[in-house]
Amino acid sequence: MRLDVSVLVLLAAFSALCSGEEEKKKEKVKKLQIGVKKRVDNCTLKSRRGDLLHMHYAGKLEDGTEFDSSYPRGQPLTFTLGSGQVIKGWDQGLIGMCEGEKRKLVIPSDLGYGASGAPPKIPPHATLVFEVELVKIERKEEL
């Protein structure tokens, strides 16, 4: 009888633990997450606002569905960092990168496409996952 009670207690604890993990998976990302996938040795130039960046990227939804990528086009995306030409998650998450560096950005909806999404590929309130690679930095000379 004592063994049966112990087994029931263990099962209840395990069940509570598992349901807690499920709840964590359902929670939406609330802030930008930046992970460095490949560091660069001897980095002498780091990206900053105003730099023209050439970025390769693959963008996915949380479930792994890819919605866009520069790799098949063979042409990196070029834009000015911090100018609002890209989503806020990129303007914030690409600061301080070195040429050749790779990062993984997990971007909450409010720093991505928000409540409207970007139909048909990106639904409203979507958390976005980007694998990015900084190919080149072009910096305007300071006056």
Q: Among this protein's residues, is 14 annotated catalytic?
A: no
Six-digit token string for 123: 């639904």
Catalytic residue, candidates 51, 79, 87, 107: 87
Q: Among this protein's residues, is 57 annotated catalytic?
A: yes
Q: Among this protein's residues, is 87 annotated catalytic?
A: yes
Strand pairing category for 77-80 and 66-69:
unpaired
Catalytic residue, candidates 34, 67, 95, 110: 67
- How distant, in Å, are the alpha carbons of 5, 22, 32, 47, 101 from that of 8? 5, 21, 41, 56, 51
Task: Answer whether 25's CB lies under 8 Å from 76's CB.
Answer: no
Catalytic residue, candidates 79, 91, 107, 113: 113
Q: Is-cis flag, bond preceding 72, omega within 30?
A: no
Catalytic residue, candidates 68, 95, 110, 137: 68
Q: What one-character-per-residue DSSP string does 17-40 give?
A: HHHHHHHHHHSPP-S-EEEEEE--
Ordered alpha helix ranges (H), 27-86:
none
Catalytic residue, candidates 79, 91, 122, 130: 130
Q: Which active-site residues does the annotation give?
A: 57, 67-68, 87, 113, 130
